[in-house]
Amino acid sequence: MAKIRILAAIVINALWTDEASGKTLPKFVTDELHGYMSCGILGRGFAHLYCKTYREYHAVAFSCKTRAVCPSCLGRRMSEGALNLVDHILPDVPIRQFVLTLPFCADAIR
């Protein structure tokens, strides 16, 4: 998995680097890519946790916590947002979601 991430970052960097003019990706993009490359890799840092129930030690790798590239961190952020909505914001009543789509000709009404 780590090799795929590194290869993806190299390819993206190469595609967006214009050596003739010296233009490269913006720093915030390369920071996101570097964060994604090190996300969840034990060799880049981890926390050592102990489970009292099962009496086992676990090594949990640090996450990148980026907002655009890493699907793992995006999924975690999305789950936390949904949990916050359910626990703190939405009232405890049945909720139904509707999606309204209009035909293309109705778009001309605006």
Site residues (vs Zn ion, CB under 5 A): 39, 63-64, 70, 72-73
Smallest distance, Zn ion to C-beta of residue 41, A:
10
The whole-angstrom distance between residue 83's C-alpha and the CA centroid of its chain comes to: 17
The residue among 13 and 63 lying less far from Zn ion, judged by its C-beta, is: 63
The whole-angstrom distance between residue 99's C-alpha and the CA centroid of its chain comes to: 26
The residue among 33 and 70 lying less far from Zn ion, judged by its C-beta, is: 70
Smallest distance, Zn ion to C-beta of residue 85, A:
22
Q: What share of the chain is helix, strand, coil (3-state, %, to 5)?
A: 50, 15, 40
User: In Å, how far are 11, 12, 62, 77 from 69, measured between CA atoms?
Assistant: 14, 12, 16, 12
Smallest distance, Zn ion to C-beta of residue 60, A:
13
The residue among 58 and 65 lying less far from Zn ion, judged by its C-beta, is: 65
